[in-house]
Every structure is written in C-alpha cells, then in structure tokens.
Amino acid sequence: MDENIRVRFAPSPTGYMHIGNARTALFNYLFAKRTGGTLILRIEDTDQERSTPEAVQVIVDSLKWLGIDWHEGYFGKDEHGSPVEKGKYGPYTQMKRLGIYDEYRNKLIAEGKAYYCFCTEDELEKKKQAATAAGIVPKYDRKCFKLSREEAESKKRNERFVVRFKVEPGIVEFNDLVRGKVSFNTDQIGDFVIARSDGVPVYNYAVVIDDNAMKISHVIRGEDHLSNTPRQILLYRALDFPLPKFAHLPMILGSDRSKLSKRHGETSLLAYRDKGFLPQAVFNYMSLLGWYPRDGVEIKNKEQLAKFFDLADVGKSGAVFDEKKLIWMNHEYMQQLDASAIYELCVPYIRTVDLSGRSPEWINKVLEAVKTGLNTCAEVPEQTKLFFMSAELTAEGLEVLKSGKAKEVLSCLVELFNKTEVTAENFKALLQEVAKKAEVKGKDLYMPVRLGLTGALHGPELAVLIPVLGSAECARRIEDTLKKL
C-alpha cells in the first residue's frame, strides 16, 4: 500500500446516489486500487436542509452494491445504530467537524484574509439582479470589507452575519491530471461565503479543510467542480496548505448531451439494481464512460479494470449514458452465471410466480433453458412463464389451431406422450412420428404443438421446453387446449 496516495469520495447525503456520482466513486476506487492508495469515504452533510440520515445509508448501500469498498472513513451504522468510522483523520462526517472549520476560519479572519459580512439576502439579491440586468457578472461588492474591526464587532452582537473569503486579484493556474493546464482570472470570482450565518461552513471551504486534514493527495471528481477549483486553490494558499493534484472527470450526459437527469431515464444507481442489472455489468459499463483500457478489451472485471486504469487515459469530453450497451453488457455477464446463481438473483423478480411444488432442480433446468436469451434478471418471469403455465389463447392462435391438421397433430401427440416419457434425446423422433401420422411438416407441425403446449405463438425452443415439462405435463396441457377447440 502506498501511504502517500490518498483519494476520497465525498458525496452529500441528499436523496439517492446519482449515476454520475457513482462513476466518480468508481474512478477513485480504480485509481486507489491501481496505485495501492487509500480510498476514503467522507460524508459532506453541511447542507442541513437537504441532508438526511436515510441518504447516508443509501450512499453506503449503493457503494456496497456496486462492489466498491473503501479503507477509511464512514462505514455505516453498527447493530446498535451508532455510526462506524475507521481511520485516524476523523471524524469523517462534516457536521462533526464544525470546531475544526471554526478554528481555521478565525485564523483567516485574524489574518485579514476573511471578513464578516452583514448584508442581508434581500440586499444581495437586489444587487445581483441589477448587475445581471446591466450585463455585468454579479459579484459581491465588498461593502462589509470596508467596515472597521470595531464596527464589525459591534454589529456582530445583534446582527446576523456570514464570513466571506477575500479574493485577491491574480491568475490561478493549475495542472489538471485529465485536462492539462487550466487557468482562471480571479477577477471573475467574488468574495465567496465560507461560513453561513448559523456558523456551518460552505462546501468550497469545508472541502479544503478536510482534504488537507485527511492528507488527500489526489482530488478526483466531476468536471462540474472545475470552476470551483480556483476558489479552493485560493484557500489552500491563504491557509498555507500543500496543494493536492486535481483530476476532473468528464460528465455523464443524457441522450441529448445535457447533464444526465431524470428526464433521460433512471439516474439513480440503485434503480439499475431494481431493474435487474448485475453490479459487475454496471461497474464495467460505467468504467468505460470517459475511459478506455489500453488493450481495447471492454469486458473486464474489477481486478482487470484496476490493472489497466490510468488517469492519463481518461477522456475530456462528456460521455452519453447508453442503456442499450449496458443491457448488452449485462447479457454478457448473465451468461457467466450458472442457473443457481441466476435463481438467487432473481428471487425478487419471481415472487409473482407460483413456485409451490416446483423442485429447485426443475427451476434450475428452466433457468438454464432460457439463460441465453436473458438480458436482465427482471426478464426472468417473462422468459420463464410458459414453463410454469400456458398462456391464454389469442384469437390468432385459436385460428391456427382450428385450421389445417392442427387438431390431428395434437391428438397424435397426446397419445405418444401418454405412452412415452419424452427426453431431450427422443424429442425429435417423437415429433417425426407425429409428422408421419398426421402427414404434416415444418411450421404446420411445430406451430400447433407450440400453441397446444404454451398457448402462445412465440416462446422458448420446443426442443428445450418439452423435455423440461415432461410427458405428463405436456399431455395435460394439450388435452386442455383440445377442450377449447
């Protein structure tokens, strides 16, 4: 393990885990695994209006489901409901670190690098609107910076205030591990708030304090944070903290190339679990969004992905999330599973099916039979239903059965089923016999059989369906159908 490489995933617990967030976690994981570094989970819950304890749990559940494990930080709750944290740089939940933020904030104020601001939100809103209307970049006008220390101290006693960081003019330039050299002019940046009126720190400030305190060496996050980086660098400088390396990952986009959101489909990671996707497939697919392994082989497990992962190979442009390719990849991973594994995974989806009287062996046979056509676990009920019972005959199906020699085919077949146990081996011979007796072949033979047995025009291959059902069940089903003709 490389003690010097430390990365973190620092989500805020507001609702579900977004796909984009999950991808950030994944790249941090891959990077840590590849370099032998440490992955830390930190909970950024300073937005008290939106943060919830449930969402904290969702973060842990999401990461665990995806197969991302971490070494340090927040680890969920123990059996008594108390939070579990590991590591010597804790606490790893921001609301438990308030004292630390206060300390540095006071230092910045004492050094004249930050100041109290008493402007009301209404006042600021008006100024902002005026600036926007005039076509100017809205920026705090530093009104309260002009206050003397004494004035500020006296106002503090009976007025609400925030703390603002004083942005010095200049150019901030840094070398992003993904994007190369990026530079900003600080004249675009107003004196931003670092502590709210209730004393709770704001993201751009807290993140710097924590990344420094936790000895983070590489900040790997989404591109939406690129323009926050200069603010943070300014804070690093003001606090005399060593700068970590930055890597800004391209965004994950929806089909119209805008930021992936609800209207593009599911954006919650766990929604994909619920839709029957395998975590290995989701992991693999997401790893390919904005990154590509050097050898060009796309299907790779976690270990192989980590072996190839390199920030230098991360792309710069946004990547569209394409569920079709995810489905294909999931299909590939489904094929690697044996029937009993599929059964375990599909339990939540086959609750609707009556399994009473079905042996596990028989169910496995069914799953083995339909496996090659399975894209997701959620498809299991649909794909297997004709094994459990036949479908209601449609008008079209009824028509086929009433025409030609369909009835004759079925009668012959029942007779055979009654005296022979059908197997995968003798299935073909059995049908040949029917063909000879009824003098039909091809579709005229198979379609009535299919309809007689399943009631449906489409379905699993008869050669696999019939042996799984067995003679008795086949005969019973066909007799049932004959009664309807």
Sites for RNA among residues 164-183 (CB under 7 A): 179-183
- Which of 2, 103, 151, 313 binds RNA (CB under 7 A)? It is 313
Give the integer Cα–Cα distance in Å for 47 and 53: 12
Based on CB atoms, which residue is closest to RNA, 318 or 455?
Answer: 318
- Which of 96, 155, 160, 166 binds RNA (CB under 7 A)? It is 160
Give the integer Cα–Cα distance in Å for 208 and 216: 10
Determine if 463 is a binding residue for RNA (CB under 7 A): yes
CB of 207 to RNA, least distance (A): 7
- Which of 57, 106, 120, 175 binds RNA (CB under 7 A)? It is 120
Stretch that binds RNA, among 209-217, 225-233, 267-275, 397-405 (CB under 7 A): 225-233
- Which of 61, 102, 298, 433 binds RNA (CB under 7 A)? It is 298
Sites for RNA among residues 121-150 (CB under 7 A): 121, 124, 128, 135, 137-139
* Angle at which helices 462-469 and 380-388 cross, to 10°: 60
Q: How many other C-beta atoms can be found within 10 angstroms of the C-beta atom of residue 433?
A: 16
Determine if 387 is a binding residue for RNA (CB under 7 A): no
Give the integer Cα–Cα distance in Å for 302 and 67: 9
Sites for RNA among residues 9-38 (CB under 7 A): 10-12
Based on CB atoms, which residue is closest to RNA, 9 or 343?
Answer: 9
Based on CB atoms, which residue is closest to RNA, 4 or 183?
Answer: 183
- Quick one: tokens of 265? 């489909």
Amino acid 348 reads P
Give the integer Cα–Cα distance in Å for 68 and 54: 19
CB of 225 to RNA, least distance (A): 6
- Quick one: tokens of 196? 């709210």
Sites for RNA among residues 396-455 (CB under 7 A): 442-443, 446-447, 450
- Which of 155, 225, 275, 405 binds RNA (CB under 7 A)? It is 225
CB of 245 to RNA, least distance (A): 16
Q: Is the dihedral of CA 176, 177, 178, 181 positive or negative?
A: positive
Based on CB atoms, which residue is closest to RNA, 29 or 205?
Answer: 205
CB of 408 to RNA, least distance (A): 17
Sites for RNA among residues 233-272 (CB under 7 A): 250-251, 253, 256-259
CB of 153 to RNA, least distance (A): 18
- Quick one: tokens of 104? 């540095």
The alpha carbon of 182 is separated from its chain's Cα centroid by a whole number of angstroms, namely 29
Based on CB atoms, which residue is closest to RNA, 4 or 188?
Answer: 188
Reply yes or no: is the peptide bond before residue 91 cis, omega within 30 of 0. Answer: yes
CB of 42 to RNA, least distance (A): 9
Sites for RNA among residues 54-113 (CB under 7 A): none
Category of 409 on φ-ψ map: left (φ > 0), alpha (ψ -120 to 50) or beta: alpha
Determine if 372 is a binding residue for RNA (CB under 7 A): yes
Tell me the number of residues near RNA by CB under 7 A.
Answer: 81
- Quick one: tokens of 339? 């029937």
Based on CB atoms, which residue is closest to RNA, 39 or 81?
Answer: 39
From residue 210, give the alpha-carbon distance in Å to each of 104, 216, 412.
11, 8, 79
Do the beta carbons of residue 13 and residue 59 sit within 8 Å? Answer: yes
- Quick one: tokens of 97? 């670190």
Q: In the beta sheet, which residues pair with residue 40?
A: 8, 72
Determine if 393 is a binding residue for RNA (CB under 7 A): no
Q: Is 62 exposed, middle or buried (0-12, 13-18, 19+ CB in 10 A)?
A: buried
Give the integer Cα–Cα distance in Å for 208 and 396: 68
Which of 146, 181, 262, 419 is an active site residue?
262
CB of 117 to RNA, least distance (A): 8
* Angle at which helices 443-454 and 406-419 cross, to 10°: 70
Stretch that binds RNA, among 194-202, 300-308, 338-346, 353-361 (CB under 7 A): 194-202
- Quick one: tokens of 399? 């028509």
- Which of 24, 38, 204, 376 binds RNA (CB under 7 A)? It is 204
Any catalytic annotation for residue 262?
Answer: yes
Sites for RNA among residues 324-353 (CB under 7 A): 324-325, 328, 331
The b-or-e profile of 442-457 (16+ CB within 10 A means b, else e) is eebbebbbbbbbbbbe
Catalytic residues: 262
